[in-house]
């Protein structure tokens, strides 16, 4: 503790009582603030919950340092240490004049310091809590100790003390569209000794109920659990040359993904709490409408309350869809393996046109749980040489939406007549019309009067928000909502593009596809067009089979679904500062110790040893 000079003045606020500690010579080792007390008045602390965007359980206390000596009023003071119930708190905020300030910039006004300190604290209802705040004047090093105490209100308090740690995910809806069962995926990295098993993770949301809170455990799914614990790196000792102290750069760290479905009102915030650090917690068992049945090869049947989807046994792609409310099956079954999901594809004559639906041995990775089932397919096309493609599906509980991602990466310069993705194909048994968004209008295409293959029934901008096939009489529709597209080149710049567009085709089937490089579908179809090595083509769509919305209208209905999915919720993590974490900033390693040695680099000179 810093102390310069021989006199010590302190102020202590206890509950609603203000006590001024007398001046006197401080004996060696004395705690600042020791002395007699005189009564006064002050407002007591507030105990808060992590709800509606607030990340912490907290106690927030008003504090006053009366009659700051004139010689100590010029410089800004700093909040040097905060304790609650004798435990040091490293996560706190400082306020003056109703706004958050830098903890090193506490101002003296009118001869005194008035501030509030908000500290992360897992309080229990009816429990007494005492906050101690240490203020330091930087020029003299003088210390003042402020203290506040109070009793927490009745109510729920901390969700469950058996879970000793939590991280907060503050979710903000900033685009003006309410979200219901919106899929949230977050990745957390925590110190490994705080998590014995992913089975102990729980996701909980609290909602205000008067002055109290109502908790709801949210079904969640933990996946991609990995731990970094490199004994060689952890065992290497590094000493700070200035302080002589050991430099702590690393701790064993466990990271994991957690997924859940969030409900957030338009323009609002919600706080979802991820609890952990409970080794005795049982494995959770959540009710879910999502079920996955394995079939032959990659064949799967995925269903929830809205759909039943079959995946092709050879390629793994979506083969057919049953919309449950109408019991109507959507399928293709006309060409090659007859799957609905037809590409990514590349046509580079003299090779045959090859589609992802023609795959016979893609690599496949699955993730199954109560919130989502994902399938990640990847591999090389057999021709032309050097084309890598990938498809990833996410099927969720409680929603009719299926998320579909596809990517093409070109490994070498190639001339093509077609390079496409985002294609879905249906036979003509169900649909009779198409709809699409063009500017601010919803356009309807009646297939009975449309152009026929090989002409395009419709040619659309590459940034068209959505395209739908439907039949009002049968009461059924299917839509592709185009959420994201990216076309970088790994070697710099953009991927090769030749007037990309989305188009609708009417032949023995109805299909919609995205062409990135596509001379074959033009009036000059013999052109061979270049695709440079390193070109990447990425597409993310949402697929939706739905009962036709007669009252709302198809345009308004799909506009709403698109807006809910296109504009992502903002997710911000707030995690405790672990007691093991170093104080202050750890200077990064900015220079490698090369063979020739870099001046000042740790180990640089050691590399010049003989041999």
In the block, residue with structure tokens 């293959």: 453
- β-bridge pairing 570-575 and 536-547: unpaired
* Element (DSSP H or E) covering residue 566: helix 554-566
Q: Is 106 helix (H, G, I), strand (E, B) or coil?
A: strand
Residue 470's φ and ψ, nearest 5 degrees, are -160, 170
Tokens of residue 576, six digits: 């405790």
Tokens of residue 92, six digits: 């706190």
Identify the pLDDT of residue 244: 87
Cβ atoms of 309 and 301 within 8 Å: the answer is yes
Cβ atoms of 146 and 135 within 8 Å: the answer is yes
The Cβ of residue 448 has, within 10 Å, a number of other Cβ atoms equal to 8
Q: For every residue of 265-312, which 3-state class applies, written as one string?
A: CCCCEEEEEEEECCCCCCCCCCCCCCEEEECCCCCEEEECCCEEEEEC
Count of helices and strands (H, E) across the chain: 2, 41
Identify the pLDDT of residue 210: 84
Structural domains for the chain: 7-151 (2.60.40), 316-428+466-548 (no CATH)
CA dist 172 → 5, 48, 108, 214, 560 (Å): 50, 20, 36, 20, 18
Cβ atoms of 251 and 580 within 8 Å: the answer is yes
How far, in Å, CA of 127 to CA of 151, rounded?
6
pLDDT digits (tens, 9 = 90+) for 552-596: 999 999 999 999 999 999 999 999 999 999 988 888 888 776 555
Question: Within a 13 Å sphere around the CA of 547, how many CA atoms are in the beta-carbon half?
Answer: 7
Bridge partners of 545, per DSSP, are 478
For residue 607, give the DSSP letter. Answer: G
Identify the pLDDT of residue 472: 96
Compute CA 514 distance to the chain's CA centroid, rounded to the nearest angstrom. 28
What residues in the chain have per-residue pLDDT under 50?
A: 1-42, 604, 606-611
Tokens of residue 320, six digits: 């057919």
- In 3D space, the residue among 420, 421, 457, 450 whose CA is nearest the CA of residue 541 turns out to be 421
* Element (DSSP H or E) covering residue 10: strand 7-14
Identify the pLDDT of residue 602: 53
How far, in Å, CA of 54 to CA of 195, rounded?
24
The Cβ of residue 253 has, within 10 Å, a number of other Cβ atoms equal to 16
């Amino acid at each position: 503790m810093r102390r310069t000079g021989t006199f010590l003045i302190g102020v202590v606020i206890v509950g609603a009582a203000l006590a001024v500690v007398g001046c006197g010579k401080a004996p060696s080792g004395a705690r600042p603030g020791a002395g007699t007390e005189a009564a006064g008045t002050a407002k007591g602390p507030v105990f808060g919950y992590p709800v509606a965007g607030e990340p912490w359980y907290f106690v927030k206390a008003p504090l006053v340092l009366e009659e700051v000596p004139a010689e100590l009023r010029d410089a800004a003071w700093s909040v040097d240490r905060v304790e609650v119930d004798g435990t040091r708190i490293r996560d706190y905020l400082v306020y003056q004049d109703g706004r958050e300030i830098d903890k090193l910039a506490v101002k003296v006004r009118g001869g005194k310091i008035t501030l509030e300190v908000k500290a992360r604290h897992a309080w229990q209802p009816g429990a007494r809590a005492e906050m101690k705040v240490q203020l330091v004047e930087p020029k003299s090093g003088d210390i003042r100790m402020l203290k506040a105490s109070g009793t927490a209100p009745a109510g729920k308090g901390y969700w469950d003390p058996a879970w000793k740690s939590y991280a907060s995910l503050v979710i903000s809806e900033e685009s003006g569209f309410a979200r219901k069962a919106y899929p949230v995926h977050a990745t957390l990295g925590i110190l490994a000794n705080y998590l014995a098993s992913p089975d102990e993770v729980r996701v909980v949301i609290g909602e205000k109920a008067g002055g109290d809170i109502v908790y709801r455990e949210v079904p969640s799914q933990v996946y991609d659990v990995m731990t970094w614990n490199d004994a060689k790196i952890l065992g290497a000792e590094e000493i700070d040359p200035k302080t002589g102290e050991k430099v702590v750069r690393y701790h064993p760290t466990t990271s994991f993904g957690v997924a859940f479905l969030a409900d957030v009102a338009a323009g609002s915030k919600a706080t979802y709490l991820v609890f952990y650090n409970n080794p005795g917690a049982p494995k959770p068992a959540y009710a879910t409408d999502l079920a996955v049945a394995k079939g032959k090869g990659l064949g799967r049947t995925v269903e929830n309350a809205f759909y039943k989807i079959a995946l092709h046994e050879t390629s793994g792609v979506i083969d057919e869809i049953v919309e449950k409310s109408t019991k109507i099956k959507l399928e293709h079954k006309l060409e090659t393996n007859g799957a609905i999901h037809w590409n990514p594809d590349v046509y580079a004559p003299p090779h045959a046109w090859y589609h992802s639906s023609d795959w016979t041995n893609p690599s496949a990775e699955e993730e199954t749980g109560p919130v989502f089932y994902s399938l990640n397919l990847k591999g090389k096309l057999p021709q032309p040489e050097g084309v890598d493609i990938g498809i990833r599906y996410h099927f969720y509980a409680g929603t009719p939406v299926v998320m579909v991602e596809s990517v093409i990466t070109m490994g070498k310069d190639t001339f093509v007549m077609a390079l496409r993705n985002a294609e879905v194909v249906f036979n003509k048994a169900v649909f009779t019309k198409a709809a699409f968004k063009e500017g601010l209008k919803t356009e309807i295409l009646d297939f009975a009067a449309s152009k026929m293959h090989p002409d395009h029934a419709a040619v659309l901008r590459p940034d068209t928000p959505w395209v739908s096939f439907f039949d009002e009489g049968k009461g059924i529709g299917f839509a592709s909502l185009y959420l994201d597209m990216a076309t970088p080149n790994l070697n710099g710049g953009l991927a090769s593009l030749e007037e990309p567009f989305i188009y609708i085709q009417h032949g023995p089937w109805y299909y919609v596809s995205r062409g990135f490089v596509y001379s074959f579908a033009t009036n000059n179809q013999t052109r061979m067009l270049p695709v440079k090595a390193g070109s990447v083509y990425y597409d993310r769509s949402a697929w939706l089979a739905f009962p036709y919305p007669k009252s709302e209208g198809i345009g308004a209905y799909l506009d709403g679904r698109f807006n809910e999915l296109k504009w992502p919720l903002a997710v911000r993590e707030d995690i405790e500062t672990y007691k093991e974490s170093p104080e202050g900033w750890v200077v990064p390693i900015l220079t490698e110790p090369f063979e020739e040695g870099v001046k000042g680099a740790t180990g640089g000179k050691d590399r010049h040893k003989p041999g």
